[in-house]
Structure 1
Amino acid sequence: MSDSLGLLRIAANAGLSTVQWMVNTSVRTGTRVARGLAAGEPPAKIAGELGAELRAAAQSALGVAPPAEPSGASTEELRERGAELLRRSSDVHFVADTHPAYERILGELTPDEARILRFLYREGPQPTVDVRTNRPLGIGSELIEAGLSMIGRQSGVRNPNRTNAYLNNLFRLGLVWFSREEVDPSRYQVVEVQPEVQEAMAKAGRAPKTIRRSIHLTPFGEDFCQTCLP
């Protein structure tokens, strides 16, 4: 169930329009539990089925393709494949044109995510801000919004409100990383006057605190963009 709850937290923090989805999911979950217990089903069975259902629902809301089912290969088969990789690594005549994961990754991207990748590849690291309440010495400071940026607008995505969900999926695929390092300080001024940032600062109350961070392509992501995106 921990994986399912983690996906739900990502969906909630990503700025998605998930209120109705969460309500509907909660109602279905409660109904399933009540019926299962009334029918005498073991609690473990009910929890397992709900976990699969919640994972599928959260992946759908995030626009994330479900992971491929395990092939069921035996230990011997896996070792044979590993030995073949090591053999190729020592073969001076073997040349791998592309990473074998690229084809799978393309199948797990939305068109908007491809736009974001191309934007990051062309424009480089982008500024993001977190908005927190301001407390003495930071003790008890509450996170209001995280990862606010202009990446969605500047890359021209069709669904800007899903930008954080897209970035979470790109992070899952190893294409981007969320850095604690800042970019040029002057670039944050434009981000901090955006409506969503101003709204978060209003929620934070008196003297809100902004934490400046950045989003980068990983070296793997750079190679993926160079290889796969026009």
Structure 2
Amino acid sequence: MASNSLGLLRIAANAGLSTAQWMVQTTVHTGQRIVRGIVAGEPPVKIAQELGAELRTAAQTVLGVRPAAAEHSASTEELRARGAELLRRSSDVHFVEDTHPAFERILGELTPDEARIVRFLFREGPQPTVDVRTNRPLGIGSELIEAGLSMIGRQAGVRNMDRTNAYLNNLFRLGLVWFSREEVEPSRYQVVEVQPEVQEAMARAGRAPRTIRRSIHLTPFGEDFCRTCLPTDA
């Protein structure tokens, strides 16, 4: 037991000595490199970049750390070959593509609440949304108070109602929904406009606030995704 402890102490002492020697040698080398670079008229940025790379490599050597392998970046030839393979498969009458290759990735980027919203839009169709703005003559200088107010989160049954707009933004990023300037049936906006959050925004907008009626739709890609990946009859 005592011999093991002595061995560990020797290793620690040798490591400390090696580190101290490296620090002294590196300090001297760095100073010499800076002087040589200045005398040679090299740009300071170039000197700093070269020294940074040298110091990282030296430190990894002393500490026994292997440099991380650089991430592989596909070359133009590799990308072109993959594109050519896609075109080849598109002309192959025997090739059957069951699902879009992005569906698996999208499932990993959805929250449970977002999945509920996608299914709701698939089953119920486009939904009304409103923007609340201040009222100004001819709309000049009108200020946006709240945007994209809807009942989608409530009707879809999400757990985190306050994140509904963030959920919709992510679904838009993934290409599953789109925000339209077109209106749905006018009567459907009356229910939205009496909701507490809409009424609060209108109160903050001041006298005679304006509501801009819009809608949110599932894209054809989103419909295909929902039909393929989510149980729609639950």
Q: Distance in 2 between matches of 1:180 and 1:221?
A: 19
Structure 1's 71 and 194: CA in aligned 2 closer, same or farther, altered over 3 A? farther
- Superposed CA deviations along residues 169-227 of structure 1, whole A, max 9, x for unmatched, are 00000000000000010000010000100000000000000000000000000000000
Q: Could you say which residue in structure 1 is the equivalent of 2:122? A: 121
Q: Which amino acid aligns with 1:86?
A: L
Deviating 4+ runs (over 3 angstroms): none
Distance 1:71 1:115 in 2: 37
Distance 1:113 1:71, change over 3 A: farther
Please list every run of 5 or more consecutive structure 2 residues that lacks an aligned counterpart in the other structure.
Answer: 1-44, 46-70
What is the 5 A alignment of 1:122-161?
122-161=123-162
| Structure 2 match to 1:162 | 163
Structure 1 199/71 Cα, relative in aligned 2: closer, same or farther at 3 Å? farther
Q: C-alpha root-mean-square deviation of aligned residues, in Å?
A: 1.1
Distance verdict in 2 for CA 1:94–1:198, change over 3 Å: same
Distance in 1 between residues matched to 2:73 and 2:229, nearest whole Å: 30
2:173 paired with 1:180: no
Match of 2:56 in 1: none
Deviations 1:117-142 (A, max 9, x none): 00000000000000000000000000
2:98 is aligned to: 97
CA drift at 1:72: 1.4
Structure with the greater alpha carbon radius of gyration: 2
Alignment partner, residue 201 of structure 2: 200
Question: For 1:1-20, what aligned pairs fall within 5 Å after superposition?
Answer: none
The Cα of 1:156 is off from its aligned counterpart by: 0.2
In 2, Cα distance between equivalents of 1:71 and 1:125: 43
Q: Aligned AA for 1:148? A: L
Please list every run of 5 or more consecutive structure 1 residues that lacks an aligned counterpart in the other structure: 1-41, 43-69
SS class of match (1:226)? helix
For residues 55-110 of structure 1, the C-alpha deviation after alignment (integer angstroms, 9 at most, x for no partner) is: xxxxxxxxxxxxxxx86111111100000000000000001000000000000000
Partner of 1:47: none
Say which SS state the counterpart of residue 158 (structure 1) adopts.
coil
Residues 1:218 and 2:219 aligned together: yes
The correspondence of residues 8-157 of structure 1 with structure 2, limited to 5 A, is 72-157=73-158
Secondary structure of the residue aligned to 1:73 is coil
Letter in 1 for 2:226: C
How many residue pairs match? The answer is 162
Greater RCO, 1 or 2 (C-alpha within 8 Å, sep 6+): 1
Quote the residue 2:17 is aligned against: none
Structure 1 length as normaliser, TM-score?
Answer: 0.69
Q: What is the TM-score when the length of structure 2 is the normalising length?
A: 0.68
Q: What is the DSSP-based 3-state SS (H/G/I as helix, E as strand, rest coil) of the residue aligned with 1:205? A: coil
Residues in 2 aligned to 1:95 and 1:132: alpha-carbon distance in whole angstroms: 50
